[in-house]
A and B are shown apart, each in its own frame.
Chain A
Amino acid sequence: GAGVSQSPSNKVTEKGKDVELRCDPISGHTALYWYRQSLGQGLEFLIYFQGNSAPDKSGLPSDRFSAERTGGSVSTLTIQRTQQEDSAVYLCASSFGSGTQYFGPGTRLLVL
Protein backbone atom coordinates (compact mmCIF):
# COMPACT_ATOMS: atom_id res chain seq x y z
CA GLY A 1 0.00 0.00 0.00
CA ALA A 2 0.92 3.67 -0.09
CA GLY A 3 3.64 4.81 2.25
CA VAL A 4 4.21 8.14 3.95
CA SER A 5 4.34 11.00 1.47
CA GLN A 6 5.78 14.46 1.93
CA SER A 7 5.63 17.65 -0.09
CA PRO A 8 7.36 19.53 -1.46
CA SER A 9 10.40 17.28 -1.98
CA ASN A 10 12.63 20.35 -2.16
CA LYS A 11 12.11 23.91 -0.98
CA VAL A 12 14.38 26.91 -1.41
CA THR A 13 13.43 30.05 0.45
CA GLU A 14 14.89 33.35 1.51
CA LYS A 15 15.84 34.14 5.08
CA GLY A 16 12.88 35.63 6.93
CA LYS A 17 10.19 33.95 4.85
CA ASP A 18 7.67 31.45 6.25
CA VAL A 19 7.50 27.89 4.91
CA GLU A 20 4.96 25.08 5.22
CA LEU A 21 5.87 21.43 4.88
CA ARG A 22 3.22 18.76 4.42
CA CYS A 23 3.04 15.12 5.52
CA ASP A 24 0.48 12.50 4.51
CA PRO A 25 0.81 9.50 6.85
CA ILE A 26 -0.01 5.89 6.09
CA SER A 27 -3.77 5.40 6.13
CA GLY A 28 -4.97 4.13 9.50
CA HIS A 29 -1.85 5.12 11.39
CA THR A 30 -2.71 6.95 14.59
CA ALA A 31 0.66 8.52 15.35
CA LEU A 32 2.67 11.03 13.35
CA TYR A 33 6.19 12.32 14.00
CA TRP A 34 8.36 15.10 12.62
CA TYR A 35 12.16 14.88 12.68
CA ARG A 36 14.92 17.09 11.34
CA GLN A 37 18.21 15.86 9.87
CA SER A 38 21.11 18.17 9.29
CA LEU A 39 23.80 17.20 6.79
CA GLY A 40 25.72 14.13 7.93
CA GLN A 41 23.85 13.90 11.22
CA GLY A 42 21.31 11.58 12.77
CA LEU A 43 17.67 12.51 13.15
CA GLU A 44 16.50 15.09 15.69
CA PHE A 45 13.00 14.64 17.11
CA LEU A 46 10.72 17.68 16.72
CA ILE A 47 7.09 16.84 17.52
CA TYR A 48 4.74 13.88 17.98
CA PHE A 49 0.97 13.51 17.49
CA GLN A 50 -1.00 10.53 18.82
CA GLY A 51 -4.70 10.35 18.08
CA ASN A 52 -6.65 13.14 19.75
CA SER A 53 -4.11 13.65 22.53
CA ALA A 54 -2.23 16.90 22.96
CA PRO A 55 0.93 16.79 20.83
CA ASP A 56 4.37 16.43 22.39
CA LYS A 57 6.19 19.55 21.24
CA SER A 58 9.27 19.02 23.39
CA GLY A 59 11.65 18.79 20.43
CA LEU A 60 10.69 22.01 18.68
CA PRO A 61 13.84 24.19 18.67
CA SER A 62 12.12 27.56 18.94
CA ASP A 63 8.72 29.24 18.87
CA ARG A 64 9.22 29.85 15.15
CA PHE A 65 8.37 26.18 14.65
CA SER A 66 4.82 24.86 14.89
CA ALA A 67 2.85 21.93 13.59
CA GLU A 68 -0.73 20.87 13.33
CA ARG A 69 -2.52 17.72 12.36
CA THR A 70 -5.96 18.13 10.88
CA GLY A 71 -8.60 15.42 11.16
CA GLY A 72 -6.11 13.00 12.65
CA SER A 73 -4.41 12.56 9.28
CA VAL A 74 -2.44 15.15 7.30
CA SER A 75 0.10 17.27 9.17
CA THR A 76 1.71 20.59 8.35
CA LEU A 77 5.00 21.79 9.85
CA THR A 78 5.36 25.57 9.69
CA ILE A 79 8.59 27.47 10.13
CA GLN A 80 8.18 31.22 10.51
CA ARG A 81 10.88 33.79 9.75
CA THR A 82 13.25 31.12 8.49
CA GLN A 83 16.94 31.30 9.35
CA GLN A 84 19.89 29.75 7.54
CA GLU A 85 20.38 27.26 10.37
CA ASP A 86 16.90 25.88 9.59
CA SER A 87 18.34 24.36 6.40
CA ALA A 88 17.98 20.59 6.75
CA VAL A 89 15.95 17.61 5.64
CA TYR A 90 12.60 17.46 7.44
CA LEU A 91 11.32 13.91 7.81
CA CYS A 92 7.86 12.71 8.72
CA ALA A 93 7.02 9.26 10.07
CA SER A 94 3.82 7.51 11.09
CA SER A 95 2.97 4.46 13.16
CA PHE A 96 0.01 2.54 14.44
CA GLY A 97 -0.10 3.33 18.12
CA SER A 98 3.43 3.30 19.49
CA GLY A 99 4.56 0.67 17.01
CA THR A 100 7.22 0.74 14.34
CA GLN A 101 7.69 4.12 12.67
CA TYR A 102 7.68 4.30 8.88
CA PHE A 103 9.27 7.30 7.22
CA GLY A 104 8.54 9.47 4.24
CA PRO A 105 11.18 10.61 1.73
CA GLY A 106 11.67 13.98 3.44
CA THR A 107 11.59 17.62 2.39
CA ARG A 108 14.95 19.24 1.71
CA LEU A 109 14.80 22.83 2.91
CA LEU A 110 17.44 25.36 1.91
CA VAL A 111 17.30 28.84 3.41
CA LEU A 112 19.38 31.37 1.51
Chain B
Amino acid sequence: DAKTTQPPSMDCAEGRAANLPCNHSTISGNEYVYWYRQIHSQGPQYIIHGLKNNETNEMASLIITEDRKSSTLILPHATLRDTAVYYCIVRVADSNYQLIWGAGTKLIIKP
Protein backbone atom coordinates (compact mmCIF):
# COMPACT_ATOMS: atom_id res chain seq x y z
CA ASP B 1 0.00 0.00 0.00
CA ALA B 2 1.33 3.39 -0.93
CA LYS B 3 2.25 5.67 1.93
CA THR B 4 2.40 9.43 1.96
CA THR B 5 4.88 11.90 3.37
CA GLN B 6 3.85 15.40 4.41
CA PRO B 7 5.61 18.17 6.33
CA PRO B 8 4.39 18.20 9.94
CA SER B 9 3.52 21.89 9.92
CA MET B 10 3.27 24.98 7.73
CA ASP B 11 2.34 28.65 8.12
CA CYS B 12 0.57 30.84 5.60
CA ALA B 13 -0.54 34.47 5.67
CA GLU B 14 -4.24 35.16 5.47
CA GLY B 15 -5.32 35.98 1.92
CA ARG B 16 -2.34 34.25 0.33
CA ALA B 17 -2.35 30.90 -1.43
CA ALA B 18 -1.50 27.94 0.78
CA ASN B 19 0.43 25.21 -1.01
CA LEU B 20 0.57 21.88 0.81
CA PRO B 21 2.94 19.25 -0.60
CA CYS B 22 2.62 15.48 -0.41
CA ASN B 23 4.96 12.74 -1.55
CA HIS B 24 3.58 9.37 -2.57
CA SER B 25 6.48 7.86 -4.46
CA THR B 26 5.23 4.26 -4.29
CA ILE B 27 1.72 5.01 -5.54
CA SER B 28 0.23 2.45 -7.92
CA GLY B 29 -1.35 3.31 -11.24
CA ASN B 30 -4.89 2.72 -10.04
CA GLU B 31 -4.61 4.52 -6.70
CA TYR B 32 -6.29 7.86 -6.20
CA VAL B 33 -4.89 10.73 -4.13
CA TYR B 34 -7.39 12.11 -1.62
CA TRP B 35 -7.17 15.19 0.57
CA TYR B 36 -9.11 15.68 3.77
CA ARG B 37 -8.76 18.23 6.52
CA GLN B 38 -9.62 18.11 10.18
CA ILE B 39 -10.41 21.25 12.10
CA HIS B 40 -9.81 20.94 15.82
CA SER B 41 -12.29 18.61 17.55
CA GLN B 42 -14.26 17.92 14.37
CA GLY B 43 -14.52 14.95 12.03
CA PRO B 44 -12.42 14.95 8.85
CA GLN B 45 -13.81 16.99 5.95
CA TYR B 46 -13.39 15.84 2.35
CA ILE B 47 -11.64 18.40 0.13
CA ILE B 48 -10.73 16.93 -3.24
CA HIS B 49 -9.32 13.84 -4.97
CA GLY B 50 -7.68 12.94 -8.26
CA LEU B 51 -5.99 10.19 -10.24
CA LYS B 52 -3.79 11.74 -12.93
CA ASN B 53 -5.21 15.06 -14.01
CA ASN B 54 -5.24 18.26 -12.02
CA GLU B 55 -8.56 18.89 -10.29
CA THR B 56 -10.32 22.01 -9.03
CA ASN B 57 -13.44 22.53 -6.98
CA GLU B 58 -14.93 25.28 -4.86
CA MET B 59 -12.55 24.53 -1.99
CA ALA B 60 -9.18 23.87 -3.57
CA SER B 61 -7.04 22.76 -6.49
CA LEU B 62 -5.05 19.54 -6.68
CA ILE B 63 -1.91 19.41 -8.79
CA ILE B 64 -0.49 15.93 -9.45
CA THR B 65 2.93 15.55 -11.04
CA GLU B 66 3.18 13.69 -14.32
CA ASP B 67 4.95 10.74 -12.67
CA ARG B 68 2.29 10.79 -9.90
CA LYS B 69 4.94 10.57 -7.21
CA SER B 70 3.85 13.80 -5.56
CA SER B 71 1.00 16.26 -5.42
CA THR B 72 0.17 19.72 -4.09
CA LEU B 73 -3.05 20.94 -2.57
CA ILE B 74 -3.65 24.63 -3.18
CA LEU B 75 -6.01 26.78 -1.14
CA PRO B 76 -6.12 29.88 -3.34
CA HIS B 77 -7.05 32.53 -0.74
CA ALA B 78 -6.47 31.14 2.72
CA THR B 79 -8.63 32.39 5.60
CA LEU B 80 -8.26 31.92 9.33
CA ARG B 81 -10.93 29.20 9.14
CA ASP B 82 -8.61 27.13 6.97
CA THR B 83 -6.38 26.46 9.99
CA ALA B 84 -6.53 22.67 10.32
CA VAL B 85 -4.59 19.42 9.90
CA TYR B 86 -4.52 18.45 6.23
CA TYR B 87 -4.24 14.78 5.31
CA CYS B 88 -3.00 13.43 1.99
CA ILE B 89 -4.16 9.85 1.51
CA VAL B 90 -3.89 7.23 -1.19
CA ARG B 91 -6.54 4.61 -1.61
CA VAL B 92 -5.57 1.01 -0.93
CA ALA B 93 -4.98 -0.64 -4.28
CA ASP B 94 -6.64 -4.02 -3.88
CA SER B 95 -9.31 -3.03 -1.43
CA ASN B 96 -10.94 -0.06 -2.98
CA TYR B 97 -12.48 1.43 0.10
CA GLN B 98 -9.91 1.65 2.85
CA LEU B 99 -8.08 4.93 3.46
CA ILE B 100 -4.63 4.83 5.10
CA TRP B 101 -4.01 7.96 7.13
CA GLY B 102 -0.67 9.53 8.02
CA ALA B 103 0.00 12.29 10.53
CA GLY B 104 -0.90 15.11 8.14
CA THR B 105 0.27 18.73 7.95
CA LYS B 106 -0.79 21.23 10.58
CA LEU B 107 -1.55 24.39 8.57
CA ILE B 108 -1.72 27.61 10.54
CA ILE B 109 -3.14 30.67 8.80
CA LYS B 110 -1.81 33.87 10.33
CA PRO B 111 -3.56 37.25 10.17
Contact = CB atoms under 8 A, between A and B. Distances in A.
A75 to B, nearest CB: 15
A84 to B, nearest CB: 21
Contacts of B36: 103
Interface in B44-69: 44-46, 49
A98 B96 contact: yes
B96 A42 contact: no
Given A33-B97, A48-B98, A100-B49, A91 B44 contact: yes
B55 to A, nearest CB: 12
Interface of B is mostly: loop
A106 interface: yes
Interface of B: 34, 36, 42-46, 49, 87, 95-104
17 contacts: A33-B97, A41-B103, A42-B101, A43-B44, A43-B99, A45-B100, A56-B95, A91-B44, A93-B43, A93-B44, A100-B34, A100-B46, A101-B46, A103-B36, A103-B44, A105-B42, A105-B43
Given A41-B103, A45-B98, 4 more contacts: A42-B101, A48-B98, A98-B96, A104-B43
